[in-house]
Structure 1
Amino acid sequence: MSDWGPVFVAVVLFILLTPGLLIQIPGKSRFVEFGNFQTSGVSILVHSVLYFALICIFLLAIGVHIFSGFSSAMADWAPVVIGVVLFVLLQPGLLFQFPGHHKQLEFGSMKTNGKAIAVHTLIFFALYCIFILALHVHIYTG
């Protein structure tokens, strides 16, 4: 049976912590900016650290599970590691943005928009589900 808890937590955090959608820390002109649809390398780093901390809390400390078919005494770090890597790589505007502002696909623009956030969230969801639910990737620590 599949555990949808990590998928739900990872996707919700991806949406909420995408720099520029709700909040950007640090912002372009102020420390905190709201809904500016901008990003930067530093803000992606800060938001990635926040993502890592929150996903660790929800998946490892609290242990959010939805319809789990098994239980393990060991901590599974795969949902955390995969989530953080995908979070960084799929930030709209960092490596690519689909759709872009002026072209269908833009690279390294450090800007985003609502459509790009929605598309990147769907890509994140699909890849995360493939790794966690379809391939059953696990990283256990002893």
Structure 2
Amino acid sequence: MRFRDLKKQKKNQQNKQEKKQLLYAKYSDKVKALIVDMFMIYAPILYFIAYVVMGSKEEFQASQLAPFIAVSIYGVIYAILIAKFGQTPGKKAYLIKVVDDKTQKNISFFRAVCRFIMFLFSATILLGLLTPFYRKDRKALHDIVCGTIEIEVKQ
């Protein structure tokens, strides 16, 4: 064998060992974390907009702009938390962290916003939320597009 081939083979083995060390987050934990985030972040935003800003739930339901503003505020808060800490309160509760799939470092704010928008899209078409069942690395569509991965962190 040529030296070049041996070096390439050794590098491939090291990459495989590094990938094996990552513990991919379980799908059930991802769903539980999302539910926790909905109650801890999104529900207070909805309450504030519906009752403090709009005055009543009927006014909120009649408005087309209010739900969009609520989702936008949630998206910004989500992106800030993911960019700064790699975790939201729900993800922290289930020991999940969102990182770059190549470097395993936190992602930027704009990449986190893109990931949130892609999550909304993939949740809308449902196909994106089913992709983790068919992949070894359990990446959803928004993770594939944004180059991120959700891993389990040790406490």
| TM bracket (short chain) | 0.3 to 0.5
TM score, norm. by length of structure 1: 0.39
Larger helix fraction of residues: 2
TM score, norm. by length of structure 2: 0.36
Q: Give the structure with higher Rg (CA).
A: 2
